[in-house]
Structure 1
Amino acid sequence: MKSNLQSIKLFLVVAFSCTSLLASLTPVLAKPIGSSPSDAYNGLRLRSDAKTTLAQAKTFNQPPIPAGRPPGGRVRGGAKRGQVAGCPATKPDLTALVHFTEEANSVINVWGQTTLERPSWFFYVPYTKDSPYEVEFVLQDQDDNEIYRKAIALPDKPGVINVSLPTTAPALALNKQYRWFFTINCDQEKNSPPTFVEGVIQRVQLNPAVLKELQTTEPLKRYVIYAQNGIWYEALTTLAQLRDQNPKDAALQAEWRNLLGSIRLDDIAGEPIFLGKP
């Protein structure tokens, strides 16, 4: 009888201890992923569903060329046929990171959509700050009036840089087309033509349901939404920012290659990205 009582007491002690242990663990087990600053997305540790989210993007959903005068443009730098370029030949050449189409008559149309009043443009620059070259970004309205001009500093080494439209510049109006130029003049005497890229950007407005989703979702999902809706500039900027915050993330590296590969700029995908103010 005494032995049975001791066994019962021992069982109760063990049971109480286990219950207390589980109670102390419950807050830890119930704590959501990403609730601490180190796990917050902007921190930026990608969740386990990152690959699933990126898979939804597939490739960029390129919208049709807008009605009216074809945008034309140049996605790659270098000399035009019959010209002698003043800049040293490089591979890759100066490149605008924007989608383009090539028509049957070999006419290139370089253009993209944005939802922002002041978007960012991205360019691969093959020259460095050690070179005494003049670099400029110019933006014109649809009547060819210059609305913004900025001298650009070359990076420490070849790579992708961004140029953002500042608050001091006029905001892009809805449904208006603007032409941009990124020019590198390598000849100080200016006897040879510069190397340049150019294209057209148009600000559009998304429907209210998409806008609401963009306001309430995480950056990775926003990238997917922009890509699915043909908003090139925000898709590229969002993904570039994510890569800048997570330089070793394999899923983001793969999606960057996928995005640039979808517009035939595979040779730029492995180049470093330097984000900063123009």
Structure 2
Amino acid sequence: MNANSQPIKLFLVVAFSCTSLLVSLTPVLAKPTQNRSDAKTTVAQATTFNQPPIPLGPPPGGRVRGGAKRGPVGTLAACPPTKPDLTALVPFTEEDNSVINVWAQTTVERPSWFFYVPYTKDLPYTVEFVLQDRDSNEIYKNAIALPDKPGVIRVSLPTTAPALAVNKQYRWFFTINCDKQKNSPPTFVEGVIQRVELNPATVKELQTPELLKRYALYGQKGIWYEALMTLAELRQKNPQDAALQAEWRNLLGSIRLNDIATEPLLLETPSSAK
């Protein structure tokens, strides 16, 4: 063997060893990782909320944020200012004439509303949820308990309340009175909800047991209340899931409520005051 053959032989041994190592690693590197977040991430990337246009007729108007309001001359709102303010988790539009329209759709007879409440139960404030038909007739009214800490609470229409009729609009109010004598104006939010029917093909798709798929379908069809409710239920079942937290931020960010997206979700809070 000459002097040059030893380096060549060593090079071939090293090259063969590296090739063998790469071959042995290839199946590991190429094999897709099966974990809990795969499906969530895929759905999150594909989910968009398609806000439907405002229905024909008088614009719904409304108020998505509470905040301190001045009352009659010489009086001030009793509710202290907070940041964020009382907020309804509902889509809204701002028109050229500075009119805000707070409006969204549901498919169920008795939906749930979500509100960010900045005040807590240790304060002597009274809270009320009211639902009216289009002629301002009261459909449902209930006193609401303030939460233990500031956060997002759920208010659901109970089975004892009248069911929402299809294609009819209803106006809701969520009001906090911070003055026992009610001499000062309350802080409140309000908007319009309309129940609609989905086509049979979509109804069949929604029969899937996978909540993430249901959430995505509701978002694509512009059904706000069920999209929000489904995602809230998923977060309740998986409170530490980072992918679901990101999707929650994405959904609320899509309706310009980014400041509410990181607030606690208090679904265990009783909705009715004792």
TM-score using structure 1 length = 0.81
| Residue of structure 1 equivalent to 2:156 | 164
User: Aligned AA for 1:64?
Assistant: P
Structure 2 residue runs of 5 or longer lacking an equivalent are 1-33
SS at match of 1:48: helix
| Residue of structure 1 equivalent to 2:170 | 178
SS at match of 2:250: helix
| Residue of structure 2 equivalent to 1:56 | 46
Residue of structure 1 aligned with 2:118, choices 122, 126, 134: 126
1:78 is aligned to 2:78: no
Give the superposition deviation at 1:247. 1.1
Give the superposition deviation at 1:189. 1.7
Spell out the pairing of 1:206-225 with structure 2 (5 A cutoff). 206-225=198-217
1:237 is aligned to 2:229: yes
**2: distance between equivalents of 1:47 and 1:101?**
33
1:78–1:85: 8 Å Cα contact kept in structure 2? Answer: no
Give the superposition deviation at 1:142. 1.0
| Residue of structure 1 equivalent to 2:196 | 204
Give the superposition deviation at 1:79. 3.4
SS at match of 2:248: helix
TM-score using structure 2 length = 0.83
| Residue of structure 2 equivalent to 1:69 | 58
1:155 is aligned to 2:155: no
1:71–1:111: 8 Å Cα contact kept in structure 2? Answer: yes
- Change in Cα spacing, 1:46 to 1:174, as seen in structure 2 (3 Å) is farther
**1: distance between equivalents of 2:209 and 2:143?**
36
**1: distance between equivalents of 2:69 and 2:96?**
19
> 237-246 or 268-277: which moved more?
268-277
2:71–2:184: 8 Å Cα contact kept in structure 1? Answer: no
2:153–2:267: 8 Å Cα contact kept in structure 1? Answer: yes
Give the superposition deviation at 1:46. 3.8
Tell me the alpha carbon deviations over residues 82-116 of structure 1, each in whole angstroms, 9 at most, x when there is no partner.
76321011000000000000000110000100000
Spell out the pairing of 1:6-155 with structure 2 (5 A cutoff). 46=36, 48-57=38-47, 59-80=48-69, 84-155=76-147
Q: Over the residues paired in the alignment, what is the CA RMSD in angstroms?
A: 1.4
> 144-153 or 210-219: which moved more?
210-219
Give the superposition deviation at 1:244. 1.1
User: Aligned AA for 2:57?
Assistant: G
Give the superposition deviation at 1:81. 6.3
**2: distance between equivalents of 1:214 and 1:114?**
14
Structure 1 residue runs of 5 or longer lacking an equivalent are 1-32, 34-44
**2: distance between equivalents of 1:229 and 1:170?**
25
1:86–1:186: 8 Å Cα contact kept in structure 2? Answer: yes
**2: distance between equivalents of 1:49 and 1:194?**
44
Q: Percent identity?
A: 77
- Change in Cα spacing, 1:104 to 1:82, as seen in structure 2 (3 Å) is farther
Tell me the alpha carbon deviations over residues 25-63 of structure 1, each in whole angstroms, 9 at most, x when there is no partner.
xxxxxxxx9xxxxxxxxxxx9452221112111x31110
User: Aligned AA for 1:212?
Assistant: K
2:79–2:186: 8 Å Cα contact kept in structure 1? Answer: yes
| Residue of structure 1 equivalent to 2:27 | none
1:120–1:165: 8 Å Cα contact kept in structure 2? Answer: yes
